[in-house]
A and B are shown apart, each in its own frame.
Chain A
Amino acid sequence: MKEQIETTAEVQQDVKPVARVRHLYKSFGDRKVLADLNLDLMERENLVILGKSGSGKSVLIKCMVGLLKPDSGEINILGYDVPTLSTHELNELRLQVGFSFQGSALYDSMSVRENLEFPLRRNLGILQRAKLNELVMKSLEDVGLESAINLHPAELSGGMKKRIGIARTLILNPKIMLYDEPTAGLDPETAGEINELILSVRDKYHTASIIITHDISCARQVSDRIVALFDGRNKLEGTFKQLKEQNAQELQSFFNY
């Protein structure tokens, strides 16, 4: 079910939206996590979703890739109407959307090389050793970890795991990147390196990205636009500077940190 994404009046006219969410609702039992959430992700944009823990940030991106089914609402990614997709169509879409997990989610029974080769073998059917080596090395170079190729996830530091996790998604050349808490659990220096990597991925791969975070320095460094999420709704929206100047009550705990 692929269709043209229509842009709304409030979004910029010179760039096209690659993802659109409208009136999204999601509950777990009696707990409402997302309630009437609306957002647009534009081409080559780094959109930061800022919010405290439990505000529904991760649930939003899991709904966007079909890991969770929303109760109601519209999610349109690259022209695909996500909630109505068949398994085959969903897999087709997922090849174009990279997802970097909070805990990296590296396959711990496989080496770094095998982790990166896995989506290539299974999705693109690439089996030639030379081609696999070339793509794996390129991806590792992009995250600056060529030397880790033969290590296992258990031998990697937190920052290295994040980088390899990102490399594994980049290897399929995605059009959209979704980062779930990319700097969580990292020291400030490593977090800064990951932020730089997010920026370089956008520039090199021309991706549009959604970055889920509660880390204000990450938001400042990587965002083109920020959507602040509270009680499952997008309450505030703007650039880092605009939100800081608004001095809104809900964001004070972030900016004063």
Chain B
Amino acid sequence: MRFKLFLARLADIYKFTKRFFKNALVPPYEIKEILKQCYLVGNKSLFLIAFTSFLAGIVFTKQSRPSLASFGAESWLPSLVSQAVVRSLGPLITGLICAGKLGSNIGAELASMQVTEQIDAMEVSGTRPFSYLIVSRVIATTLMLPILVVFADVMALLGSLVMVNSINNTGFVLYFNEVAAVVSLLDITSSMVKSGFFGFAIGMVSCYAGYHSGKGTTGVGKSANTAVVVSMIFIFVVDLMGLQILNLFRP
């Protein structure tokens, strides 16, 4: 019985994804709503991502220094930190923060709209709620995550610079020269592409959870919870898959 339910859910997810692409690719396009959602996604998460990334940069630098110092390789600290931040830490921090902040927000908002029949009201007035509510949100998270990741990377590197500077007086120019020497274009583009997939996963999972919410306030809570937990799992899965694919391109 549970396996049957699982298969039914998979079929439902497939239909939802197919409907998304159909609505996203066929006009009329929801340009205005997409721009509004992009603004909300960026605006809602920017401060939190900046703050946590800055702190993560400091902590990662402080924790890495003793290991490098024991090999007499303390001068490699900017190289190590910058590669870790750009390749993995920045996208992961951004993905997880957005999964928590945006996932719960989108999941709960759509679920409460479903419970109070607002989505049905849009449906019966012929206003195409799927395009308006789902397509716009998924496109917004997909477009905004890479931008937020660049921001997170910069903030994490600044945090790291503060730490390195306080230890051995390394200046801004020297630090970023070292960063530029080790961070390749492949690192940056792959990190942005990967975070685009993170954004897509967060948007799709959260919208699906909200759109298919159960009845009542329990349904709203459950949808928000599912949106966050499943989005986070997807982020790690996409990260692992991205790493495997990228290793094929790295020398």
Residues of A within 8 A of B (CB): 62, 65, 67, 90-92, 94-95, 97, 99, 101-103, 105-108, 118-119, 122-123, 165, 168-169, 172
Q: Which residues of B contact A101 (CB under 8 A)?
A: 117, 120-121
B117 nearest CB neighbor, chain A only: A105
Extra A-B contacts (13), CB below 8 Å, given A95-B125, A103-B116, A108-B116: A67-B123, A90-B126, A92-B126, A94-B125, A94-B126, A105-B118, A105-B121, A106-B118, A122-B128, A123-B125, A123-B126, A165-B121, A168-B121
Known A-B contacts A103-B116, A105-B116, A108-B116; A123 and B127 likewise in contact (beta carbons under 8 Å): yes
Asked if A94 contacts B124 (CB within 8 A), the reply is yes
Most A Cβ at <10 Å: residue of B120, B122, B123, B124:
B124
Q: Which residues of B contact A165 (CB under 8 A)?
A: 121
Q: Give which listed residue, A102, A103, A108, A169, contacts B125 with CB less than 8 A.
A: A169
Are A108 and B118 interface neighbours, CB within 8 A? yes
Residues in chain A near residue B128, CB distance under 8 A: 91, 122
The 10 closest A-B pairs by CB, nearest first: A105-B121, A91-B126, A94-B126, A105-B117, A122-B127, A99-B124, A119-B125, A65-B124, A101-B117, A105-B118
Q: How far is the CA of A99 from the CA of B127 in the complex (A)?
A: 13
Q: Is B234 an interface residue (CB 8 A)?
A: no
Tell whether, in the assembled complex, residue B121 and residue A122 are in contact, meaning their CB atoms are under 8 Å apart.
Answer: no
CB-based contact B118/A107 at 8 Å:
yes
Residues of B within 8 Å of A108, CB to CB, are 116, 118
> Does chain A have a CB within 8 A of B132?
yes
Question: Interface digits, B75-118 against A, CB 8 Å rule (1 contact, 0 not)?
Answer: 00000000000000000000000000000000000000100111
What's the nearest-Cβ distance from chain A to residue B120, in Å? Answer: 6
Are A99 and B118 closer than 8 Å at their CB atoms? no
B residues in contact (CB < 8 Å) with A:
113, 116-118, 120-128, 132
Min CB–CB distance A162 → chain B (angstroms)? 13
CB distance from B116 to the nearest CB of A (A): 6
Q: Which residue of A lies closest to B22 (CB)?
A: A87
Looking across the interface, which residue of chain B has its beta carbon closest to that of A180?
Answer: B117
A119-B120 in contact (CB<8A)? no
Cα separation A67 to B116 with both chains bound (whole Å): 15
A-side contacts of B124, CB under 8 Å: 65, 67, 94, 97, 99
In the bound complex, residues from chain B placing their C-beta under 8 Å from that of A99 are 121, 124-125
Chain A contacts of B116 at CB under 8 A? 103, 105, 108
Q: Bound state CA distance, A118 and B116, in angstroms?
A: 18
CB distance from B207 to the nearest CB of A (A): 16
**What separation, in Å, do the CA atoms of A65 and B118 have in the docked complex?**
15
Residues of A within 8 A of B127 (CB): 118-119, 122-123
Q: List 21 A-B contacts (CB under 8 A).
A: A67-B120, A67-B123, A67-B124, A90-B126, A91-B126, A94-B125, A97-B124, A99-B124, A101-B120, A101-B121, A103-B117, A105-B117, A105-B120, A107-B121, A107-B122, A108-B118, A118-B125, A122-B128, A123-B125, A123-B126, A169-B125
In whole angstroms, how far apart are the Cα atoms of A94 and B125 in the complex?
Answer: 6
Inter-chain CA distance A92–B124, complex, in Å, is 10
Residues of A within 8 A of B132 (CB): 122
CA distance A99 to B116 in the complex (A): 14
Q: How far is the CB of B54 from chain A (nearest CB, A)?
A: 32
CB contacts (< 8 Å) of B125 on chain A: these are: 94-95, 99, 118-119, 123, 168-169, 172
Kindly list chain A residues whose C-beta atoms are within 8 Å of the C-beta of B126: 90-92, 94-95, 119, 122-123
Give B119's nearest chain A residue, CB to CB.
A105
A57 to chain B, nearest CB (A): 15
In Å, the complex CA distance between A102 and B120 comes to 12
Q: In the complex, which residues of chain A have a beta carbon less than 8 angstroms from the beta carbon of B117?
A: 101-103, 105
Distance of A240 Cα from B118 Cα, bound (Å): 33
Q: Chain A residues near B118 (CB, 8 Å)?
A: 105-108
**Closest CB of chain B to A195's CB: distance in Å?**
22
Bound: A105/B113 CA distance, A? 8
Inter-chain CA distance A237–B171, complex, in Å, is 88
- Which among A91, A122, A168 has the greatest number of chain B C-beta atoms within 10 A? A122
